[in-house]
Amino acid sequence: MRAEVVLEVRNITKSFPGVVANDNVSLTLHRGEVLALLGENGAGKSTLMNIIYGLYHPDSGEIIVKGEKVQLGSPREAIEHGIGMVHQHFMLVPVMSVVENVMLGIESTQGPFLDKRAAAEQIRQISEQYGLKVDPYAIVEDLPVGVRQRVEIIKTLYREADILILDEPTAVLTPQEVEELFEIIEALTAQGKSVIFISHKLKEVLRIADRITVLRRGKVVGTVRPEETDEQQLAEMMVGRSVLLRVEKPPREPGMPVLEVDDLWVRDETGHMAVRGVSFRLYAGEILGIAGVQGNGQTELVKALSGLKHAEKGHIRIAGQPVTNLAPRAFYELGLGHVPEDRQHDGLILSLPIKDNIILNTYYKQPYSENMVLKHDVIAETAKRLVEEFDVRTPGIDTRAGALSGGNQQKVIIAREFSRPIRLLYAVQPTRGLDVGSIEYIHRRLVEKRNEGAAVLLVSTELEEILALSDRVAVMYEGQIMDILPVDEATIERLGLLMAGVRDATRTAQTTN
């Protein structure tokens, strides 16, 4: 006995200038089911969801909600049909309270006044019913990301949605928060809600979905059940070819220390000491992974190590040269490459074309300019060559960086940083939000750099990534490095304890003896 079909999408086609984003896509969603929509970036997942949510209008095809064929002209109409969406980037007003955010647009009133109490009461009920713990009167900007996401979910439930679309909901969450989200999803579906879970993370999809529909280049490749498939097969469906989930790397041949950090102290934006006495050496030909839960000083550490943030105390040397508190360009001149954490905000100028992004930190040098005059022909040639060499999928070098998919944006940054002579590389969350194909590619490139003798500092909150790539693993907790382990001694359990601030008990015992 199958549960009732609550949503059916039939033969949806949607093209944008130059690309068919959805090509004859069909899917069905049953009551109480989690349907995962899996696909690489640019596969058409978001387009499809935006069609279902009334933001885009399909060129052809139909949408049937609870047996009724509907025309969804706007999100408002989608909401009226019980469809709610939690966007990847939250749509909350940070300075408002949870109640105010939830009420926004459908305020309950008493006479001319807002009736916050009634709304808060309703939020409490929703919270209890689905295990969505949140204080209705908390101010949104004070809440951790995971809780903000709950507020978004409550928003859709408050609008009486029974079909919830979650767009890449785990991209911003810590592992613990992901687990909590999954519990919420289970509570939702147990009570008859249906969830479309958009993701490109194979493990998560296998863990939470009842069925998995895979999209590739705008088309449905197939729909599978988690129990009859595995990561390898899903990855191949997504990418369309066989995929290496592991990176091969030869044993490390450590060379000279490239980066030397001694007793470094750095404040964060609020003046709080975020890095507290960090010291380490990074050698040529190795990848040093920095693991840790987000927000334990990794961001500030890397910023200080690249001249973007003032070091209160301590010393930094690159290739023996003191660089503490010099301008970022001094670091680059000494051979630093930087793949920043927030690629769209810090790594690229999205409204400039690829060719202008390629020269973002070399524009003032030969051969890209001479006597302060840019050499457009050389720049264009270089950009063309790099786009080819680094496999950036783009119509051309005049395309705006913002028009590229996340993976291709990252490839532009990698192309820029790797194509100049570097001896030191910082890669911060280099694969966050990327699809399998791009992750595989970027991992391979990082290992290549290491094999060429560069010293690589890899900062990631994904332990799997750290373990797959690093030669040594440092764990940061509350601004300090808890320990640095060779990768073969770094088990998940041991790292987990260090990440939680617990020093290795046996080790401490040995050193005190």
Chain residues binding other proteins by CB under 8 A are 17-20, 23, 217-218, 308, 327-329, 331-332, 338, 340, 345-353, 356, 359-361, 363-364, 369, 372-374, 376, 393, 395-396, 398-400, 403
Distance in Å, CB of 413 to other proteins, minimum: 10
- Show the beta-strand stretches assigned E in 159-310: 163-167, 194-199, 211-216, 219-224, 257-267, 273-283, 287-291
Q: Which is nearer to other proteins, 19 or 190 (CB)?
A: 19
Encode 496-509 in three state secondary structure.
HHHHCCCCCHHHHH
Q: Which long-range contacts link 212-216 to residues 24+ away (Cβ below 8 Å)? A: 212/35, 212/36, 212/38, 213/27, 213/35, 213/36, 213/37, 213/38, 214/38, 214/39, 214/238, 215/25, 215/37, 215/38, 215/39, 215/43, 215/44, 215/45, 215/48, 216/39, 216/40, 216/43, 216/240
Non-local CB neighbours of 306 within 8 Å, separated by 6+ positions: 328, 331, 336, 338, 426
Q: Which is nearer to other proteins, 255 or 402 (CB)?
A: 402
CA 401 to chain centroid, in Å, comes to 18
Q: Which is nearer to other proteins, 158 or 331 (CB)?
A: 331
Q: Which is nearer to other proteins, 342 or 489 (CB)?
A: 342
Q: 426: which strand partners? A: 338, 457
Q: Which is nearer to other proteins, 132 or 334 (CB)?
A: 334
Distance in Å, CB of 411 to other proteins, minimum: 16
Residue with tokens 């008859």: 192
Distance in Å, CB of 339 to other proteins, minimum: 10
Distance in Å, CB of 308 to other proteins, minimum: 7
Distance in Å, CB of 408 to other proteins, minimum: 12
d(CA 461, CA 298): 10
Q: Which is nearer to other proteins, 102 or 427 (CB)?
A: 427
Q: Which is nearer to other proteins, 404 or 475 (CB)?
A: 404
**Secondary structure (3-state) at 150:** helix
Q: Which is nearer to other proteins, 195 or 425 (CB)?
A: 425
Distance in Å, CB of 349 to other proteins, minimum: 4
Distance in Å, CB of 77 to other proteins, minimum: 20
Query: DSSP letters of 64-118?
Result: EETTEEE---SHHHHHHTTEEEE-SS----TTSBHHHHHHTTS--EETTEE-HHH
Q: Which is nearer to other proteins, 2 or 89 (CB)?
A: 89
Cβ atoms of 110 and 183 within 8 Å: the answer is no
Helix H or strand E segment including 317: strand 311-318
Distance in Å, CB of 374 to other proteins, minimum: 5
Distance in Å, CB of 317 to other proteins, minimum: 19
